[in-house]
Structure 1
Amino acid sequence: EWSHRGPPWIWVHVRNQAGVPPRTRCLADVVTLCRGRRGSVRWLFPWGRDSVGSTPWRGSTVYEDQLQKHLKKCNSREKPLPVYHIQNVNAGTPEEDVCEDQVPISSLSREDLQKLIEKLRRVTSGLEPPLPDKKLCHQVLQGALCDPVNGESASKHLKQQASILGHLESLGLLGGSRCYVEFGAGRGKLSHWVDIATQDAENVLFLLVERASTRFKVDGKQRKSTFERLHIDIQHLCLDHVPSLVQKQRSVIGIGKHLCGAGTDLALRCLMQASSPMVGEPDCKRPRMDPALESSDLTHKGNSVPDEQNKVAGIVIALCCHHRCDWQHYVGKEFFRNLGLGQREFNFFQRMSSWATCGLRKLPVTSHVENESGTDFEEHNEAAQKIPVCNSEAIQRLLTVEERENLGHLCKLLIDHGRLDYLKKMGFKPTLQYYTDPEVSLENILLTALPQQHK
């Protein structure tokens, strides 16, 4: 008979004393059926047919004469790429001259480090700092902010979300006939609050972009608005080919809370691709599908090819993890070159930017440290583990903790101004501002942008 042992997805078929399997429920000669958490299935056959075939994916084992039938329905099979997947459509142009391997900051001599710091201070001396006192709120989160049930960590996230919604409202970006694209959506909490703030608006669409599936999603609770998850890397996302955007034209608004490193650059390029053809980049940077294939794919789904592109009405993204930026995807290369900087300096400044949030740390990052700093440990655990830890005695003697933190902020400011320069050239009016207190989150810079003609 079948007996339940252990977790609910484990069922074991117990054989009788004579060693012959008793009558099974559904599958002849099956002794053990184990359905894993991720849908993988393993069938063991000590008796019965001699020939057993295995699928090319994880864990599934079936009779060979049933293999082809199983491949058509196996949950682990490779799925066809969606129509909005265009390989590397938002990726930066690879450099022809590949830079040498990154040199550790700790290996720099005292003189070389001093020259690098002087160069950083020189190029950032004329840059405008983020606007202060831009800590806003929105009425839809007042109840949650005052709810004593929410602990300290939850309250910090609510304060950040409230300020982001406040900025969306102040910029006139909350309303109907909009498509909110949340990059690095995770559980979708930010879109959840935007949905509540626009509950009286019509024709609102939410696209939640995330590379992998996420547990404890909140978008399943939404009913009125349309929530759609796009499981895709931002690097390959072409918004002009998303069927729900093709069906009905809407203004696109890019949002994000703590979008890590290169993810911000990919998201900005993704939005600019949707708004208008790229300016100042070669045509090969905007690859297109075969027109016949593109039209047939959309027609097959009951859609029509849009006559005009969806326009980006605004951008509100909380920046994060500058130490994870990548020169290939960085949108501010021209800005760096105009300052006499290149990939070598970028690689140093990118790693030095971590000094703004971690100072000089010898111990690896732990969940305790991350939770105290107010960052989302679930979303940024991998990023935190990759923060470069600098324990050079030369740096300790040369710089105090306060000086290192200040230099880290200058590195962040320089990288962000490259993004501002890119958005200006694309016809937008961008701004940096402090949107929350450092006690709430050390990553407290918000990037906002509106089209130049926006009033």
Structure 2
Amino acid sequence: MAAEAAAPVSPQPGRCAYFVARKRRFCKMVPARGKRFCGEHGGREEENGRKRIPCPLDPKHTVYEDQLQKHLKKCNSREKPKPVYYSQDINAGLKDTTELPEEQQAPISALSKEELEDLIRKLRRASICINYVLKDQILSHQALQEALNDPQNGDVAFKHLKQQASILGNMERLHLLEPGNCFVEFGAGRGKLSHWVDIALQDSKDVHFLLVERATTRFKVDGKHRKNCFERLQVDIQHLCLNKVPVLVKEKLPVIGIGKHVCGAATDLALRCLVETYAKLCEGEKESPAPKRFKSNETSITSNNSGELHGKPIADSWSPVAGVVIALCCHHRCDWKHYVGQDFFTKVGLGAMEFNYFKRMTSWATCGMRETERKSYATHTKNEEQSNETGEDDQDEYNVDSLQGLLTTEDRKQIGQLCKLLIDHGRIEYLQQRGYEAVLQHYTDLSVSLENVLLTAVPCQSSLAPSTA
């Protein structure tokens, strides 16, 4: 093994003289003329008695002490005015949920053999009520065929395209890929999913896109979006009140919630935002003008096994939330406080403590693939979407090695998958109780993404009990 390179003894000419101990090198920023340090590390020297201090709003950057008040008025970290659609904790769930005591938050590796076996027994007993198997709905869509056949795409880009194509294919199967709707992409990131939906709709005019993302970053693909149809909402889903978004107030379009790998608790927040907050508020506005709806030459929609209408006029089928299509991800990031399936867990004799452990055990679903997949994915950790997909594969805090001798790799994998299914089934029951026909399915192959489960939901159109098959 080659010896580590020695740390430089002096900064490069024209570069900052501050030594970054963590990186074992000097800062590479360029200081102002006549200075030894850059603006970030200017506190290391004083200029004519002027001193730099950390910004009280964000200590990651510094400011001259005598210019502090002026800086605070324009600092990018200052609190900005809340948008009209911001409503504090509107989708957060139950406010009286108590935090687990520390002794019930111990890592799995700290559990005794008896405690771990008891948890697994509870998991298997609770899972008896889930008597269906996820079907494969691995589809594609012609809107992405050209991109899928582009030889310049690398492996990672190709995998994302296959997932996006299957999501669009499932939307088309559910008759959700049509004009007259407002598509809300949760955890939008670059907004690529909305981009492909727009292409599939062939730039229809009677359609809008809301890209919900709490980060301020904008991406190259934003330049391809039609400015009059696309709008970014910079807000945490927890505080998003769709009923106050100007375009929805004005156009009265039904909403379709979409997302590609919506991490952990963000899925629960998105579901509550759609079917509990937005739908209820819309139902309370019956005196409002009739919502717009795309009209086709046909007055009815054919029936299929996914809950679509049969022989009913489109005008009679309007719902504030026309559908939900979300690719699930990162169950270890779920939060009991926000989880929409609390009633289901309570019904099967489980609570916050079991949920806390089960969400951690979901990482076991991919433990058999750790060694083969880790190196491949590690090279792409800077890719936003890829890091979301592989999040569960990097949960070293759960110390799987400590379970050697108690559970085989195959046992851990099976238990992890069962934990995922149990958490997702709670979401299905939540949607069913609110009048939606909700289904879980595999929308892509494991070789494409380890997170290959898609949640879809459409409003129930009959008095028959919704099916979970």
Q: TM-score, normalised by structure 1?
A: 0.77
Which amino acid letter does the alignment assign opposite residue 447 of structure 1?
L
Which amino acid letter does the alignment assign opposite residue 214 of structure 2?
R
Q: Structure 1 residue 211 and structure 2 residue 214: aligned?
A: yes
Look up the SS of the partner of 2:458 in the other structure: strand
Matched residue, 2:205 = 202
For 2:390 and 2:86, how far apart are their aligned partners in 1? 27
* Contact preservation (8 Å) 1:261, 1:325: yes
Matched residue, 1:87 = 88
Structure 1's 75 and 344: CA in aligned 2 closer, same or farther, altered over 3 A? closer
Please list every run of 5 or more consecutive structure 1 residues that lacks an aligned counterpart in the other structure.
15-30, 280-285, 287-304
Q: Structure 1 residue 328 and structure 2 residue 337: aligned?
A: yes
Look up the SS of the partner of 1:256 in the other structure: strand
Q: CA RMSD in A?
A: 3.9
Matched residue, 2:347 = 338
* Contact preservation (8 Å) 1:351, 1:388: no
Q: TM-score, normalised by structure 2?
A: 0.75
For 1:233 and 1:193, how far apart are their aligned partners in 2? 24
- 2:279 maps to which of 275, 288, 297: 275
- 1:147 maps to which of 134, 150, 162: 150
Deviation sequence 1:283-318 (CA, Å, 0-9, x none): xxx9xxxxxxxxxxxxxxxxxx96689811000000
For 2:174 and 2:261, how far apart are their aligned partners in 1? 20
Task: Name the stretch that deviates more: 336-345 or 73-82.
Answer: 73-82
Structure 1's 175 and 435: CA in aligned 2 closer, same or farther, altered over 3 A? same
Q: CA deviation at 1:271?
A: 0.6
Which amino acid letter does the alignment assign opposite residue 108 of structure 1?
L
Q: CA deviation at 1:217?
A: 4.0
For 2:114 and 2:372, how far apart are their aligned partners in 1? 27
Structure 1's 381 and 169: CA in aligned 2 closer, same or farther, altered over 3 A? closer
* Contact preservation (8 Å) 1:375, 1:443: no
Structure 1's 177 and 34: CA in aligned 2 closer, same or farther, altered over 3 A? farther
Deviation sequence 1:314-366 (CA, Å, 0-9, x none): 00000011111111100000001111111111112111111112349699966
For 1:383 and 1:340, how far apart are their aligned partners in 2? 26
Look up the SS of the partner of 1:350 in the other structure: helix
Q: CA deviation at 1:367?
A: 6.9
Deviation sequence 1:15-43 (CA, Å, 0-9, x none): xxxxxxxxxxxxxxxx999889xxxx99x
Matched residue, 1:18 = none
Please list every run of 5 or more consecutive structure 2 residues that lacks an aligned counterpart in the other structure.
1-13, 17-28, 292-318, 464-469
Q: In the TM superposition, what are the counterparts of 1:72-221 in structure 2 within 5 Å?
A: 75-95=76-96, 97-101=98-102, 102-214=105-217, 216-221=219-224
* Contact preservation (8 Å) 1:185, 1:209: yes
Deviation sequence 1:234-254 (CA, Å, 0-9, x none): 111111111222121111010
Which amino acid letter does the alignment assign opposite residue 444 of structure 2?
T
Task: Name the stretch that deviates more: 91-100 or 348-357.
Answer: 91-100
For 1:155 and 1:369, how far apart are their aligned partners in 2? 17
For 1:189 and 1:106, how far apart are their aligned partners in 2? 39
Deviation sequence 1:61-89 (CA, Å, 0-9, x none): 5796x877766555454311111111111
For 2:98 and 2:57, how far apart are their aligned partners in 1? 39
* Contact preservation (8 Å) 2:263, 2:388: no
* Contact preservation (8 Å) 1:186, 1:379: no
Q: CA deviation at 1:122?
A: 2.1
Which amino acid letter does the alignment assign opposite residue 269 of structure 2?
L
Which amino acid letter does the alignment assign opposite residue 83 of structure 1?
V
* Contact preservation (8 Å) 1:195, 1:225: no
Which amino acid letter does the alignment assign opposite residue 327 of structure 1?
W
For 1:352 and 1:278, how far apart are their aligned partners in 2? 38
Q: In the TM superposition, what are the counterparts of 1:419-438 in structure 2 within 5 Å?
A: 419-438=427-446
For 1:174 and 1:414, how far apart are their aligned partners in 2? 29
